[in-house]
Amino acid sequence: WAERGVAGVFFAPVEHHPVRAAVNRAVVERLRHRGLAVVLLDRDICEFPERSDEDLVAIDDFFAGFELAAHVLERGCTRLAFIARPAFPETTDLRVAGARAAVERVAKARLDFVVCEPGERARVEVLLKRVRPDAIIASNDATAARLLQTLRELGRDVPRDTKVAGFDDVRYASLLAPSLTTMRQPCEALGAAAVETMLGRLRQPRMPARRVLLRAELVVRAST
């Protein structure tokens, strides 16, 4: 790569892999061995709550979780569930931690963290019976979309019986039935911040690692 004039690499760490931490570290170490600057995108190469020595550009996942939970709490919800698929990334840990921080500020409110496939009707039905959630926060919009379908199959009305929200604001989020409340990632601003971070790293390769966290935008739609 050096022969091609490459000086730095943007790397979005692998998510769904049985030994993803080892894989991600190996990738970064190989890039470093080649003398390349590395800027991580969206998530760290370490498992929560560890932190690597690499620059990272991402949304503030902790505050995003806090703000989304605060939103459904303000809607009168007190029994919250946070659902994520197995092998979820460390960004989900941050979002759950933020949601818990919001719940802890409200008397008699609670939050249950559930790991399961949102399309597994039996597992979702157990969640509904055990937790009786009046709001479910999904770790991302894809999980929320599948959950909406499962809730509909189980005869659950959203948002009357259970409010549902997600993260990312993917293109189809507004087209779901009902349209999905979510946290919008500022993609253009993230791209600009990543470039600025890389240029700074190239100018000062020995400076301490930085974490550039941008605020996500709460987008309220019919699902809450």
In angstroms, what CA-CA distances link 202 with 32, 38, 52, 169? Answer: 13, 9, 18, 32
Does residue 130 surpass a pLDDT of 80? yes
Residue 22 lies in a domain: yes
CATH number of the domain residue 91 falls in: 3.40.50.2300
Does residue 94 surpass a pLDDT of 70? yes
pTM score, whole prediction: 0.93
Q: What is the pLDDT of residue 3?
A: 67
On whether both 106 and 48 belong to a single domain, the answer is no
On whether both 69 and 143 belong to a single domain, the answer is yes
Confidence label for 5 from pLDDT (cuts 50, 70 and 90): confident
Q: What is the pLDDT of residue 175?
A: 96
| DSSP conformation class of 34 | T
Q: What is the pLDDT of residue 77?
A: 97
Question: pLDDT, tens digit, for every residue of 61-92?
Answer: 999 999 999 999 999 999 999 999 998 999 99
DSSP labels for 159-178?
Answer: TTT-EEEEEE--GGGGGSSS
On whether both 82 and 129 belong to a single domain, the answer is yes
- Helices 141-153, 121-131: crossing angle, 10 deg rounding: 80
| Overall domain count for the chain | 2
On whether both 171 and 192 belong to a single domain, the answer is no
Q: What is the pLDDT of residue 83?
A: 98
C-alpha torsion sign, points 85, 90, 94, 97? positive
On whether both 98 and 173 belong to a single domain, the answer is yes
Q: Taking all residues of the chain, what is their mean pLDDT, rounded to a whole number?
A: 95
On whether both 118 and 196 belong to a single domain, the answer is no
Q: Which residue has the higher pLDDT, 21 or 166?
A: 166
Q: What is the pLDDT of residue 1?
A: 65
Q: What is the pLDDT of residue 2?
A: 61
Contact residues for 102 (Cβ-Cβ < 8 A; gap 6+): 65, 66, 67, 69, 70, 73
Q: What is the pLDDT of residue 121?
A: 96
Residue 222 lies in a domain: no
Q: What is the pLDDT of residue 21?
A: 86
Q: What is the pLDDT of residue 16?
A: 76
Percent of the chain with pLDDT over 90: 91
Domain that holds residue 125: 61-184
Section 25-33 average pLDDT: 94
Does residue 120 surpass a pLDDT of 70? yes
Neighbouring C-beta atoms of residue 155, cutoff 10 Å:
7
Ramachandran assignment for 169, one of left (phi > 0), alpha (psi -120 to 50 degrees), beta (any other): left
On whether both 100 and 151 belong to a single domain, the answer is yes
Does residue 18 surpass a pLDDT of 80? no
Confidence label for 47 from pLDDT (cuts 50, 70 and 90): confident
On whether both 14 and 87 belong to a single domain, the answer is no
